[in-house]
Amino acid sequence: MPKRAHPHLAGSCLHEILFSLTIGLAVSIPIRVYIARFRSGRSKILDLSVRMIIWVNSFLDLRPRKYNPVGVELTYLCTIIGIGLVLWLALQALPARARFPVLRAAGIVVAVVAVPISILYAFAVEYARTVWIDSPPINNNIVWLALETTLALAGLILYLWRRWPLPLGATTLLFVGHFSLWGWVFSSLFPPWAWGLALSAVPACSALAWTSLISKEVPTGASRGETVSGSAPG
């Protein structure tokens, strides 16, 4: 008899992919900064990255072969996809009944704050300003960006604990403002601006896929009312 799919995982493949790519993007940013801070011959990871960039540029017949920006960004994209693929395979290894709780609890947190925390870590700990010297939006506003990320994380905690006080319209505006802000940061870190915006769209799309996945958890208005009232304080 064929196994029945877990009801909450129906249609969750897109979210699993975007969830994994978002983590891949977050992990790859400190790796990129770490590699860029070393000179050739002083890091095996850097030497491997340079060889891959040269191969990509040679395959596409781009010049200069060593540091053509197209080859650099394509290599970076392969890194993101590679990390994301490993994470996606790890998700598939989980039993269906365990996978949905993981996606439900971590999906929105990863989508909203994983990449901002990664960027802030790269600038605060790894001195990424020595790599991205032409990125005034984050160099001049890192404290405010850290504060915004902290508030976003606090809001997520309230939301997951069902203590979020704002209506849906206000929540949507906050989400749009958050992802627009970090889209602006990305456009300064990853020129041209269209490439930066494309990268910043990954966590935004992951958040949308998470809301679609969670909306299937409560199928009727009556059960939704029971859930909210049952979780209300007091």
Q: 176, 66 in Cβ contact below 8 A?
A: no
3-state secondary structure of 60: coil
Q: Is the pLDDT of residue 227 over 50?
A: no
| Across 22-26, 68-72, 134-138, 229-233, least confident range | 229-233
Within 10 A of 226 (CB to CB), how many other CB atoms are there?
12
The two three-digit tokens of residue 174, written as one number = 């906050």
| The predicted structure's pLDDT at residue 16 | 94
Q: Does residue 41 come out as left (phi exceeding 0), alpha (psi in the -120 to 50 range) or beta?
A: left
Per-residue confidence band for 40, with pLDDT thresholds at 50, 70 and 90: low
Give the tens place of pLDDT for each residue, 20-39. 999 999 999 998 888 777 66
Question: Which pLDDT value is given to residue 229?
Answer: 37
Of residues 19 and 134, the one with the higher pLDDT is 19
Q: What is the pLDDT of residues 106-142, one digit of tens each?
A: 999 999 999 999 999 999 887 887 778 777 778 889 9
pLDDT of residue 61 exceeding 90: no
End-to-end CA distance of the chain: 47
Of the candidates 108, 95, 118, 82, which has an alpha carbon nearest to the alpha carbon of residue 19?
A: 108
pLDDT of residue 43: 62
Could you tell me where the beta strands, DSSP code E, fall in 30-187?
none
Specify whether the CB–CB gap between 77 and 53 falls below 8 A: no
Residue 50 confidence class, pLDDT cut points 50, 70, 90: confident
pLDDT one-digit tens code per residue, 134-187: 777 788 899 999 999 999 999 999 888 887 778 888 889 999 999 999 999 999
Look at residue 80 and tell me whether its pLDDT is greater than 90. Answer: yes
CA–CA gap between residue 143 and residue 126 (Å, rounded):
16
Does pLDDT of 208 surpass 60? yes
